[in-house]
Amino acid sequence: AVLCTADGTTPTVNSPICSSPITLTSTTTIKAIAVATGFNNSAVASGTYTIQAGTASGAYVVAVTAKSGSISQSTHVNVTVQ
């Protein structure tokens, strides 16, 4: 599972699962980890998304999607900005 935070704090095993898009209306730091039973937690992946006034109308939506299946020693998390 991919667990994430959008408040700048480091995610833990108690953080919510990133299963739906995150709506951004201001500059936000998203941090995520991958966890699976029997494996070490991944390193923290982090991205800061800067929302500049006057560049677009409405909010940006960030979707975090992880590959399905088994988690190996190295797991990549893709972040798509729509």
List, in order, residues 6 or more apart from 58 with CB less than 8 Å away.
none
* Residues 43 and 52: beta-carbon distance below 8 Å: no
Q: How far apart are CA 30 and CA 38, in angstroms?
A: 25
pLDDT at 18: 87
pLDDT at 59: 55
**2-37 as b/e: b if 16+ CB within 10 A:** bbbbbeeeebeeebeebeeebebeeebebbbbbbee
Give the closest residue to 47 by CA, choosing from 65, 58, 25, 62. Answer: 62
- Confidence class for position 39, pLDDT limits 50, 70, 90: very high
Q: Percentage of the chain with pLDDT > 90?
A: 35
